[in-house]
Structure 1
């Protein structure tokens, strides 16, 4: 039987297909994002079709045409109306931005396996992997330690602290989304990127 005919794959093989860590695949199995079963020895066997479906479903959102001369912005937001609001608003500013929108923390990790944005804007309440889990994973990984992260939430400071808090370097924006503040933040990021490119 050829590899392409396999019905199931290991966690490691699924991680390679998705471009994410094995632990991410394990979480995707645990929350039902990927179909799998466990062997008697406790090893996961993941249905290849579920990995392919995940890639197919997320592929259009994960190819946003990031280019080095533009500030790459990745937005994690599960509400479709807010996804569209982000797209339309950021596009209307006329800034040199490349924007991709994904629906949850797992989608972010898959995207990061292909391209690291300059700025991640994440909702904190999402299905699957929420913003708190996502931020904790990213800040624990040296590869993403310097990526700008903006947390967008309707939670109060006390509610954020009750959920374990956020690192001090995370910008926190309230809801409704303060687009004027976000535009100022992204303008500063565009200017910073322009200065950095001019030095080379």
Structure 2
């Protein structure tokens, strides 16, 4: 972490690690790791406490299509729409484009958002509260199985339909059985064939829950 000198009058323009964690819906340790990796810029107070630059946090949020911080408040919530939202967490640009094409052609009622890694996906999930979550099992930053296990502990997840996508075959998926149990899984070679019916079923369940 690069040390950055900040005058006292500017202290309120930056955030503590805990404040950022609360704003992003993440663990404090996850935010500390983001600082260590250089994803967020921070400096230390004379007492040794980290302060994360507001400009750095805003740039990180904006780079993921999220609203930046506003004044002393938490990042502004994404504007709510009755259009169903789908969040794809996938690091492969090829499969990002393939899923986007399938949804644009066959599911115009879905508004698709994409995250490139697990940490960004966690933040976007909290911001967007999607109706459908499409997540790869293997992701940079945090693997999809651990991500979903984390999300399942949150009340907001109860209203989200989940679909796993993976390049792993059935045998290779065995170490992730704890997270995949009773959940739909699409093998990437069958994405074009299997995604549409699974999305159709997920949308029907969401619509039924919403109208109940």
Length-normalised TM-score, structure 1: 0.78
Residues 2-151 of structure 1: pairs in structure 2 closer than 5 A = 2-3=10-11, 5-6=13-14, 9-36=15-42, 43-59=49-65, 67-68=81-82, 70-151=83-164
Length-normalised TM-score, structure 2: 0.74
Judge conservation of contact 2:85–2:131 (CA < 8 Å) in 1. Answer: yes
Separation (CA, whole Å) in 2 of partners of 1:123 and 1:196: 25
Separation (CA, whole Å) in 1 of partners of 2:33 and 2:177: 20
By relative contact order (CA 8 Å, sep 6+), the higher-ranking structure is: 1
Seen in structure 2, the aligned counterparts of structure 1 residues 134 and 32 have a Cα distance that, compared at 3 Å, is farther
Q: Which SS does the other structure have where 1:114 is aligned?
A: helix
Mean CA deviation greater in 137-146 or 182-191: 137-146
Separation (CA, whole Å) in 2 of partners of 1:73 and 1:146: 12
Separation (CA, whole Å) in 1 of partners of 2:165 and 2:80: 23
* Displacement of 1:180: 2.7
* Displacement of 1:92: 0.5
Judge conservation of contact 2:163–2:185 (CA < 8 Å) in 1. Answer: yes
Separation (CA, whole Å) in 2 of partners of 1:187 and 1:146: 16
Residue by residue, what CA displacement relative to the aligned partner does 1:20-79 show, whole Å, maximum 9, x if unpaired? Answer: 443442343355432346789885443443322211211269x997632x3321101112
Seen in structure 2, the aligned counterparts of structure 1 residues 31 and 177 have a Cα distance that, compared at 3 Å, is farther
Separation (CA, whole Å) in 1 of partners of 2:150 and 2:181: 15
Judge conservation of contact 1:77–1:102 (CA < 8 Å) in 2. Answer: yes
Residue by residue, what CA displacement relative to the aligned partner does 1:143-195 show, whole Å, maximum 9, x if unpaired? Answer: 31452221111113332223564241321111225223211122223333444
Alignment of 1:180 onto 2:186: no
RMSD of the alignment, in Å?
A: 3.2
